[in-house]
Structure 1
Amino acid sequence: MKMKRKYITALSTVIGTSLLLAACGGGSTPTNSGSTTTPGAASPAAATKKADGPKLNFRLAETHPADYPTTLGDKKFAELVNQASDGRIKIDVFPASQLGEEKAVIEQVQLGAIEFTRVSTGALGGFNKQYEVFSLPYIFDNDNHQWKFLESEQGTKLLDSLESSRMKGLAYYSSGARHFYSKKPIKSIADLKGLKIRVIQNKVNIDLMNALGANATPMPYGDVFNALQTGIIDAAENNYPSYFSSNHFQQAKNLILDQHQRVPEVLLISKVAWDKLSADDKALIKKAAIESVKTQKAEWDKFEKDSEAKVKAAGVTITDVSDLGPWQDAVKPVIEKYRNDYKETLEAIEKARK
């Protein structure tokens, strides 16, 4: 009888403890020994891991319109993060400069007031000197050459270097080639002489305009349309999608396809926000950023072709440059001026050409 009572008491204790652990969500994860899992279904442990942690709500600032390729990339990124976290992490995308222009947004991101943004590497040059390298002219032959570099060890190293500027680089986005457009006809380098041309504010861009005989006029992207309309500037430079989506083609109907720069975009997070994340959430966000690149690149290719067709239909005078040699020769002094500053990166870009 005594043995029987002891057995019943012990059994009751085990059952009680098990129920308590179940109620509290405690206990160890069962092993997979002897169990089966439906193909494609998340294991109970994986599902719990995705839902673990606090609910987080973040903002992502974007200067371009809602249908622009970078914005669509942002939205895909936010969607992937939401899915991977089972809705625990929500990122709201604010397009069309709702949260401010690039420079102001970057400053807010550094402070942690805005968690995410997508910005041009041209704008980042004012906050991290190493990013000015992307403003150097004709350092990339084409998009394939550029992406070969961006996906290289040195490209990754540049993303990581943003941590010293209180930001964390997550991924690069496509931005195509940049061209000049003007209220006056542009057929050659000589036609740029004396023109007031809007540029992204950094030292390399100013030196580039000087080398071409133009007058650099730095200003926020959102101010360019009115500046063209009122004559504050004579010209600007950008890629086909920006030229079209910003309606700059309505004010500057002369476009020359000189391809002087290929300035990629960067999707990034505030270092303040990044440092508060768990290791699992960091991995989840980084993975989603990289996966969103495929969508952004595909949307870019489509939008670029569509933009080209629409500006042609609008009556824009387009001049193709069959020989880039004279343009490249004119700006060589700019590259040489900065070669020592960006020696490692320029060598990696040259290596990616092979």
Structure 2
Amino acid sequence: MKKVKTISLILVVLILAMSLTACGGAKKGSSSQSQQSSSEPEYTLQLAGAYPSTGETPRAKASAMIKDLIEKKSNGKIKVELYLDSQLGGDRETLESCQAGNIAMVSLTTAPAVNFVPKLAVFDIPMLFDNLDIAKKVLSGEFKEKLAQEYEKAGFKLLLMVPISYREMTANKAINNINDFKGIKIRTMENKYHMEFWKNLGANPTPLNFSELYVALQQGTVDAQENPYDILLANKFYEVQKYINHTHHIAFVHTVVMNKNLYDSMPDDYKKIIDESMNEVSEFLFNESKAQNEKMLSELKNKGMQVVELSEDVKAKMKEAAEKVAEMVKKDIGSDFVDELYKAIEEAKK
């Protein structure tokens, strides 16, 4: 009987030893550059975007860079599949799929995400950022962390947030003083904050399906519109609009988000790889966007568009019109959040 007990004890010890050896095989690296053990888990992450996949645009280049960096840093343990050109749906559809865990990551601007993260409406306040450098500084600091917490409430991990361009007003008249806005029929998105801003300036905001915009400008149904340079070029608005009035009224903020549960479930060294990769891409995207913006503006000039730099007096009055919109946003999302953004902007200017 004693012999049987001894044999049983030996077997238990052997089983425990084998179990510990097996667990110890999944060794995590201390940094993103470390060699990954062959027994570590492998992931395939989908990155979806509704924007064009052409390699010439900053966002497409950034997407390719995300794939390249993550795969290299993980020694192929994390694979990234790109699905741009709305292959997996538009912004809303892909966000819903990401939230549900069916798509790993989505790359898009903040505007379509407001229905998921309501406090992103703060970026609908016009005239926030005097330049993109200030916007970048704000969106790299404490305010970004506050936004990240709002994303997490909706089930997303915020991985990247970069200002890439501005919405600019184009028209067949130059804006030389604040009264030049009066009566202009300007096509806007169906966004109550944007519409209120143009009303406050004396313009007549007219929501219109984007697919109808070129013809509407051509036929005079609307007099003006507002979009970044790349939209002006891609849709040949230079054929039906004479002036680019540099209103710089809304900054385009690009993001990459990930399903939070998926991110949280990954090994710490994998999270570090993703975070480091996104930081590198963030710097690239910001600098590449600024360079491309200058090239696109030059191209629009070559195609006959005239650029109007607004006077300080006009910009000051535009900021006054934006204050009324800020009050609307405060009522909808809370004054504290808006005030924190204004405070972060003032700090960034120093």
On whether the aligned pair clears a TM of 0.5, the verdict is: yes
Who is 1:329 aligned against?
320
2:30 corresponds in structure 1 to none
If the length of structure 1 is used for normalisation, what is the TM-score? 0.77
Q: Distance in 2 between matches of 1:246 and 1:259?
A: 20
**1:183-222 to 2 correspondences below 5 Å:** 184-187=172-175, 188-218=177-207
One-letter identity of the residue aligned with 1:346: Y
The answer as to 2:227 corresponding to 1:265 is no
**Bigger mean CA deviation after superposition, 147-156 or 225-234:** 225-234
**Which residue of 2 is the match for residue 170 of structure 1?**
159
Say yes or no: does 1:311 pair with 2:307. Answer: no
SS at match of 2:35: helix
1:120 paired with 2:109, answer: yes
Structure 2, unmatched stretches of 5+, are 1-13, 28-32
Paired position in structure 2 for 1:52: 40
1:344 aligned residue: 340
Partner of 2:173: helix, strand, or coil? coil
1:131 corresponds to which residue? Answer: 120
Question: What secondary structure, in the 3-state scheme, does the structure 2 residue paired with 1:204 have?
Answer: helix
The answer to whether the 8 Å contact 2:164/2:285 transfers is no
Q: Check conservation: 2:98, 2:106, Cα contact below 8 A.
A: yes
Cα–Cα, structure 1 residues 239 and 50, in superposed 2: closer, same or farther, change >3 Å? farther
Q: Shift in Å at residue 149 of structure 1?
A: 1.0
2-structure distance, mates of 1:119, 1:74: 11
Contact 1:61 1:114 in 2 (8 A): no
More off after superposition, 66-75 vs 102-111: 102-111
More displaced, 264-273 or 230-239?
A: 230-239
Letter in 1 for 2:318: W
User: Cα offset for 1:137?
Assistant: 1.6
Check conservation: 1:65, 1:245, Cα contact below 8 A: no
Task: Return the TM-score normalized by structure 2.
Answer: 0.78
SS of 2:311's partner is coil
Equivalents in 1 of 2:132, 2:91: separation in Å? Answer: 24
1:7-31 residue CA offsets vs partner (Å, 9 max, x unmatched)? xxxxxxxxxx9xxx9xx9786799x
Residue 162 of structure 1: CA displacement?
Answer: 0.6
Superposed CA deviations along residues 321-342 of structure 1, whole A, max 9, x for unmatched, are: 1222232233332234435262
Q: Provide the residue aligned with 2:100 in structure 1.
A: 111
Deviation at 1:233? 4.9
8 Å Cα contact 1:145/1:352 also seen in 2: yes
CA RMSD of aligned residues (A): 3.3
* Unaligned residue ranges in structure 1 (runs of 5+): 1-16, 31-41
1:353 — aligned with what? 349
The alpha-carbon deviation at position 109 of structure 1 amounts to: 2.5
1:293-308 to 2 correspondence within 5 Å?
293-308=282-297
Matched, 1:287 2:272: no
Structure with larger Rg: 1
Q: Check whether the contact 1:137–1:260 (CA below 8 A) recurs between aligned residues.
A: yes
- Which residue identity lines up with residue 35 of structure 2 in the other structure? A
**What does the per-residue CA deviation read over 1:288-341, in whole Å, with 9 as the maximum and x for residues that have no partner?**
111111211221122111101110011113222122223223333223443526
Q: Secondary structure at the match of 1:176?
A: strand
Asked if residue 73 in structure 1 is aligned to residue 96 in structure 2, the reply is no
Opposite residue 61 of structure 1, the aligned amino acid is G
Aligned equivalents of 2:208, 2:262: Cα separation in 1: 29
Question: Percent same amino acid among aligned pairs?
Answer: 25
Q: Which residue of 2 aligns with 1:38?
A: none
